[in-house]
Amino acid sequence: MAVQPIRLFGDPVLRRRATEVVDFDKELRRLVEDLTETMLDAPGAGLAAPQIGVGLRVFTWYVDGEVGHLVNPQLTLSEECQDGGEGCLSLPGLTYDTRRALHVVANGFNMHGDPITVEGSELLARAIQHETDHLDGVLFIDRLDEASRKVAMREIRESDWFGLEKPAVKVSPHPMFGTGR
């Protein structure tokens, strides 16, 4: 297990749809361990594989003292919504009210390939939706209304982490055997 660098806004990997996992092997288990360790070290409520440069549909969460992970998630969202502050480890220091479904049922797999269902409301529902968005190349600022998104983009441009160096595509420490290619 190792803490990995978290990719920041501007890195192209954050805007690509991640590939479905097809191999539930040792490398996938190592990826889940690295995601978990990196998320807890940050600290954050969730972390998706693209945020550490791996284009696979895997994420972890840490909500209300529970650590979990999900591979190849499929979500069913409630019609009832919630508004609340949301941030992202790839956009450090930004928090904006973001509308999400109040309740989610997430179907997918654990790192061993066993089917699992995770149900959650409020913060867990928010985290699962946020991380699944990452797997689709969507950032929470994309869900903001136009005025809030403009303010967020200005805040990003003025941040001390934005634009210091061009986003680099680094080689992942995780082999991409699970991509099905």
Catalytic residues: 131
Burial class (CB in 10 A: 0-12, 13-18, 19+), 100: buried
Query: Pairing between strand 58-63 and 46-48?
Result: antiparallel
Q: Helical H runs in 50-172?
A: 122-135, 146-158
The β-bridge partners of 77 are 104
If one counts every other C-beta atom within 10 angstroms of the C-beta of residue 150, the result is 11
